[in-house]
Amino acid sequence: MKSLIVLISTFFIATISFSQQNDPAAKKVLDGVSAKFKTFKAVQAAFTLRQEDAKGGLLGTKKGTVSLKGSRYRVSIAGTGQEIFCDGTNIWTYDKSANEVTITKPDPSASTISMQKIFTSFYDKDFLYKLNGDKVVNKKTLQEIEMTPTDKNKPFHKVYVLVDKKSQTINSTRILDKSGNVMVYTINTMNGNANIPDNQFVFDKAKFPGVEVVDLR
């Protein structure tokens, strides 16, 4: 579970070598998503995480919420007792079962997909990408972008992003890791004009009596 919570927070994405540059049609779609996200004041979203094995078998599903405001974020996953706070300078990962919080610093070179990256222009530097075309899901027209990390040391080898063609927002992200497992994040609701006070992104020790603090900064 610890690896799951780290993947989500440091997040809400067979290796192929492309002989040509990135697909301009895919870049146009991704640029549209990035531009739309930048118009949001602050974001609150509810998501579902589906975990599958290499054969497509369901390993489990979890629901969660994420709040985003600039470089700050907060993630909660229902039923796990785990929550992540990030004020842009520090990251607090809280484990309710142990009543323990671990404090770390954001790592821009981390091998996982961060919450900010998944909504913004991370793709130009970190991935090769192409547009696979449109598909209709639940009466929505979605555009599928297939992405391959340029860094072969990443723990995942493929990411598929489905973009809502009408709203220019991400509908879901499917991440294939090198162990054969698959994680699918589906965004159920999104409010781009949420009113979120800055203190919501800071872990308040006073609200967690007896909490053990592990400071790894």
Look up the CATH number of the domain holding residue 195.
2.50.20.10
Tell me the pLDDT of the chain averaged across its residues: 82
What is the predicted pLDDT for the residue at 87? 93
- Model confidence pTM above 0.75: yes
Domain span at residue 93 reads 2-13+18-215
Quote the tokens at residue 58. Answer: 């369901």
Distances (CA, A) of 158 to 21, 67, 116, 146: 17, 26, 19, 7
| Count of domains for the chain | 1
Q: Which residue has the tokens 């981390």?
A: 110
**Residue 51 reports pLDDT greater than 80:** yes
- Measured between alpha carbons, how far apart are the two ends of the chain, in Å? 22
Q: Which residue has the tokens 């520090």?
A: 90
**Residue 34 reports pLDDT greater than 90:** no
Within 8 A by CB and 6+ apart from 32, the residues are 163, 168
**Residue 118 reports pLDDT greater than 70:** no
More confident site: 112 or 60: 60
What is the predicted pLDDT for the residue at 82? 87
